[in-house]
């Protein structure tokens, strides 16, 4: 936990209300998000019990497995879930735009993509497991299932894996997103309780959040008391109606909280780079849709050597970009870097806009700017700098001493003998420079999977669907 977040948590505790740690929203929020609250039968990893889902707060759909030990009923439930989710996902595939690429064929990208919101990280893990347990099922052979089930499994797997991609908003957990924007006065572990976190943000902490009778758990785990006293007796009695109503009672409070969380996040203005990250989400979603349309096999059970390395490279790239973009978008996030000496902000006290270096033809315009700052500057001369105020600008640290920092602008001031208007800060302007920059080099090529070298176990065996897939452990 960073210093500023620790401070915000202490302040939240003292004042009895969560403190904002972001001034803008760092995630995309769809106009038509799919809120999904899954519940699991306790004792099994991925045995669905119920789910409440929908895109409108006044119209939740409740799907229930009245006997979660019955596998036929589970798959029937999954087919019902598919009947809700697949049309939602499909509704985004119609509108597309053509995207031109350098050194590659243009591709079609959807104009908008689905967004699934679950209450917490455990919800994401459950969705991924559900995908894992359904994507290898088949509509023929032993134990056949409706053909929408494996298709849904592939989509759930996709959303579950994409949720681990830094900065992606295709599927997010409400507690995670809220925790990125507000600091409560409780521990990170306690923040995973949606009711508790929402109470901190809205009215202040309350013991009710811990009381399963007031706020039932947001899933996928259910309250053991409810399991023993209500659910077990209803299931034993075989009373489908009672089971459904009991589960509705467990899910409805969380449903209301989820939409409240959406309102809270919507109240924040969107960060400048959110659009760009959502564009990547749309691209990724389009690629997945194309993949399925081409009839490609379901995602592998485990990443092969090459797939793992390539996913890792993508995720590292996204993580680095996400951190930089958040700092550029939000002065409160940038403040963390100012504290560690990787950024500084202050007032421009002197400029030399027509300063140049070199002679004759190699003469280059290099405007100088002197910034007065109270921040501890821990950057070495020559460090490349960027600035949130002028994103196209590149600069270099010349010298930092006694609270005065000299910066040389190296990019984004035009090609003329004098800088383009507005490209060099004026005296008196407040500016911020940082060594965080978002220009990363591409990563070098990986071998094809078939050419996996001997150091990594050689080429993998090809996957062929077989009847054995259906015999897998489901629990």
For residue 319, the minimal CB distance to other proteins (Å) is 5
Q: Token pair for residue 364?
A: 């280059």
Strand-pair category, 171-173 with 116-118: parallel
* Phi, psi dihedral angles at 204 (to 5 degrees): 105, 160
For residue 306, the minimal CB distance to other proteins (Å) is 7
Of 29, 11, 3, 12, the residue nearest 333 (C-alpha): 3
The CB-based long-range contact list for 80-88 (8 Å cut-off, 24+ gap) reads 81/48, 81/51, 81/53, 81/152, 82/146, 82/148, 82/149, 82/151, 82/152, 83/148, 84/53, 84/54, 85/34, 85/36, 85/53, 85/152, 85/155, 86/148, 86/151, 86/152, 86/155, 88/34, 88/55, 88/114
101-112 CB burial, b ≥16 within 10 A, e <16: eeeeeeeebbee
Among all chains, which residue has been given the structure tokens 């969560």? 18
30 versus 169: smaller Cβ distance to other proteins = 169
Of 113-121, 239-247, 325-333, 453-461, which part binds other proteins (CB under 8 A)? 453-461
100 versus 448: smaller Cβ distance to other proteins = 448
Of 81-89, 220-228, 405-413, 444-452, which part binds other proteins (CB under 8 A)? 444-452
98 versus 455: smaller Cβ distance to other proteins = 455
Contact status: 454 vs other proteins (CB under 8 A): yes
Contact status: 300 vs other proteins (CB under 8 A): no
Contact status: 456 vs other proteins (CB under 8 A): yes
- Out of 306, 335, 348, 371, point to the residue binding other proteins (CB under 8 A): 306
Q: Token pair for residue 291?
A: 């993949």
CA atoms within 13 A on the CB side of 124: 22
Structural contact between residues 275 and 111, judged by C-beta atoms closer than 8 angstroms: no
Structural contact between residues 351 and 367, judged by C-beta atoms closer than 8 angstroms: yes
The Cα-based distances of 32 to 15, 28, 89, 99 in angstroms read 35, 12, 11, 24
Contact status: 284 vs other proteins (CB under 8 A): no
Among all chains, which residue has been given the structure tokens 């030990």? 69
Contact status: 453 vs other proteins (CB under 8 A): yes
Q: What is d(CA 185, CA 182) in angstroms, rounded to the nearest whole number?
A: 10
- Out of 146, 212, 253, 304, point to the residue binding other proteins (CB under 8 A): 304
Q: Where are the beta strands (DSSP E) in 321-377?
A: 343-352, 356-357, 364-365, 368-373
Of 106-114, 242-250, 358-366, 451-459, which part binds other proteins (CB under 8 A)? 451-459
In which element (H, E) is residue 390 found? strand 390-401
252 versus 303: smaller Cβ distance to other proteins = 303
Contact status: 394 vs other proteins (CB under 8 A): no
Of 252-260, 284-292, 316-324, 405-413, which part binds other proteins (CB under 8 A)? 316-324
76 versus 315: smaller Cβ distance to other proteins = 315
Q: Is 447 left (phi over 0), alpha (psi -120 to 50) or beta?
A: beta
Can you say how many angstroms the Cα of residue 365 is from the centroid of all Cα atoms in its chain?
41
- Out of 228, 290, 300, 312, point to the residue binding other proteins (CB under 8 A): 312
Q: What is d(CA 408, CA 405) in angstroms, rounded to the nearest whole number?
A: 10
97 versus 440: smaller Cβ distance to other proteins = 440
Contact status: 187 vs other proteins (CB under 8 A): no
Binding to other proteins by CB under 8 A, coded x per residue (else -) over 335-374, reads -----xx---------------------------------
Contact status: 475 vs other proteins (CB under 8 A): no
Contact status: 189 vs other proteins (CB under 8 A): no
189 versus 213: smaller Cβ distance to other proteins = 189
For residue 454, the minimal CB distance to other proteins (Å) is 7
For residue 58, the minimal CB distance to other proteins (Å) is 37
Contact status: 166 vs other proteins (CB under 8 A): yes
Q: Token pair for residue 50?
A: 């119920």
Contact status: 315 vs other proteins (CB under 8 A): yes
Contact status: 188 vs other proteins (CB under 8 A): no
Contact status: 57 vs other proteins (CB under 8 A): no
Contact status: 404 vs other proteins (CB under 8 A): no
234 versus 288: smaller Cβ distance to other proteins = 288
Residues contributing to the site for other proteins (CB under 8 A): 3, 164, 166, 302-306, 308-309, 312-313, 315-316, 319-320, 340-341, 376, 378, 443-447, 451-458
């Amino acid at each position: 936990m960073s210093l500023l977040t620790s401070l915000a948590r202490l302040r939240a505790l003292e004042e009895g209300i969560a403190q904002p740690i972001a001034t803008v929203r760092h995630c995309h929020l769809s106009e038509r998000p799919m809120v999904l609250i899954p519940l699991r039968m306790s004792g099994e990893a991925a045995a669905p019990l119920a789910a409440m889902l929908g895109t409108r707060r006044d119209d939740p759909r409740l799907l229930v497995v009245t006997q979660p030990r019955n596998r036929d009923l589970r798959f029937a439930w999954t087919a019902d879930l598919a009947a809700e989710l697949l049309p939602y996902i499909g509704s985004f595939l119609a509108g597309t735009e053509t995207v031109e690429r350098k050194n590659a064929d243009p591709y079609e990208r959807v104009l908008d993509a689905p967004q699934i919101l679950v209450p917490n990280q455990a919800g994401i893990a459950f969705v991924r497991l559900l995908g894992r347990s359904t994507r290898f099922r088949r509509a023929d052979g032993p134990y056949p299932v409706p053909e929408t089930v494996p298709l849904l499994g592939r989509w759930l797997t996709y959303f579950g894996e994409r949720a681990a991609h830094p900065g992606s908003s295709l599927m997010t957990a409400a507690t995670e997103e809220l925790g990125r924007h507000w600091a409560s006065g409780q521990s990170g572990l306690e923040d995973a309780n949606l009711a508790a976190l929402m109470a901190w943000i809205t009215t202040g902490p309350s013991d009710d959040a811990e009381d399963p009778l007031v706020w039932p758990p947001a899933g996928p785990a259910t309250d053991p008391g409810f399991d023993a006293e209500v659910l077990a007796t209803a299931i034993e009695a075989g009373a489908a109606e009672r089971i459904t109503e009991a589960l509705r009672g467990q899910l409805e409070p969380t449903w209301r909280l989820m939409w409240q969380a959406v309102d809270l996040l919507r109240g924040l203005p969107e960060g400048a780079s959110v659009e760009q990250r959502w564009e990547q989400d749309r691209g990724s979603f389009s690629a997945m849709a194309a993949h399925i349309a081409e009839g490609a096999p379901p995602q592998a059970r485990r990443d092969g050597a090459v797939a793992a390395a390539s996913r890792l490279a993508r995720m590292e790239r996204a993580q680095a970009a996400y951190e930089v973009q958040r700092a550029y978008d939000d002065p409160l996030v940038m403040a963390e870097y100012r504290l560690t000496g990787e950024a500084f902000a202050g007032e421009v006290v002197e400029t030399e806009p027509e300063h140049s270096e070199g002679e004759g033809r190699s003469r280059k315009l290099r405007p100088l700017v002197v910034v007065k700052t109270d921040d501890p500057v821990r950057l070495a001369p020559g460090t490349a700098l960027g600035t949130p105020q002028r994103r196209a600008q590149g600069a270099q640290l010349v010298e930092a001493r006694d609270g005065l920092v000299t910066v040389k602008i190296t990019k984004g001031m035009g090609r003329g003998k004098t800088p383009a208007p507005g490209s060099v800060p004026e005296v008196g302007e407040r500016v911020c420079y940082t060594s965080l920059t978002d220009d990363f080099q591409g990563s070098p090529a990986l071998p094809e999977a078939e050419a996996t070298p001997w150091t990594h176990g050689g080429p993998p065996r090809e996957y062929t669907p077989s009847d054995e897939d259906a015999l897998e452990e489901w629990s």
